[in-house]
Structures are given as structure tokens and as C-alpha cells.
Amino acid sequence: MAKVKTGFVLWFTGLSGSGKTTLSLEVERRLKKMGIPHVQRLDGDVVRKELTKDLGFSKEDRDENIRRVGFVAKLLSDNGIPTLCAFISPYKDVRHEVRQRCSNFVEIFVYCPLEILIERDPKGLYKKALSGEIKGFTGIDDPYEPPENPEITIDTSVESIDDGTEKIIFYITEKKLIEA
């Protein structure tokens, strides 16, 4: 039976379709299976529908979206709850702001080459962005600033979700955020 030594934030960042949600779901499942009952997962699609539905997709609104999520993540982690955040979060400066606010912040860069993401395109968003139907799509006509020094990088074009999950569990155990 594992236990949480301290609250922490696992911040999954990467382009749309890279595997952030899938990976965060598996990490959540694994932590619960290890006996950690209180894990909170915040996901971009869900948060946009509930917490930040008043925001659009301008740089300012995207930054505000991440600031609000960072605030919630801090509250949860400060109360000892492992918090998993899966957001494109395309801009370095606001990710850095969140890192500065949250104790035990672990940045996880979920990487996948753009060509593969365009092939995968599970939601059909790349097709719409490339045809001009969607404007300001991150990675196509809006920038994504990859992390310079993430604690963990997972390349989902070559690493399985299980391998990525193992990497994350190993890291948080080594850093004594959980005790196995």
C-alpha cells in the first residue's frame, strides 16, 4: 500500500493528441491501485466546459485558463492531494508562473512529432486547422513553446502509455512524493 508523502502537481503539457489525457488517466488509475485514494485529475477539455467556459483562445485567455488551473492545483496539492493536470499549456511563461506557485511541481512533456499527430488526429482538429476551418490552432498557426527542462519527457510516438506511466511512478517514488 503506497502513501502520499506530500501533495504534488504532475503537469502534463504537449500538443493536442499527444497523449496527455490518456497518460494522466493511467497514472491516476495506477496511483489509486497502489492505495492512494485521493487523486485529482484536471483535464483541459473538462475544465474548459466547467471552470473556464468564459474564456476564448487568445493568448491572454489561454494564459488565464492556465493560471486558474494552477490556482486550483495549488489548493489541492497544498492539502496533500496528488493533482494531475493535462493541458496543452502552450506558453512557457505561464507554465513557469504555475511552477513557481505550486510546491512539488513536476513538468511532464508529452511529445509526439507533428506529422504523427496529424496522422492520428483523434478529434479531427488538425484536419480542420490545416483546411483553415479552425484558426489559432496550437502547433499549426499558433505557437507551442516546448519545455526547456521538463522533469520527465515521454515520446508517445515510440513509448507506450504503460512505459510512460512507469517512468512517472518511478520519478515520484524516487523524489519521495509517494512511498511505495
- Cβ neighbours of residue 8 under 8 Å, at least 6 residues apart? 77, 82, 83, 103, 104, 105, 106, 172, 177
| Residues sharing a CB contact under 8 Å with residue 155, sequence separation 6 or more, in sequence order | 111, 112
Is 89 marked active-site?
yes
Q: Which among 16, 24, 77, 89 is annotated as catalytic?
A: 89
Integer angstrom CA distances of residue 173 from 12, 34, 116, 153, 176: 18, 12, 31, 17, 5
Instruction: Return the active site residues.
Output: 89
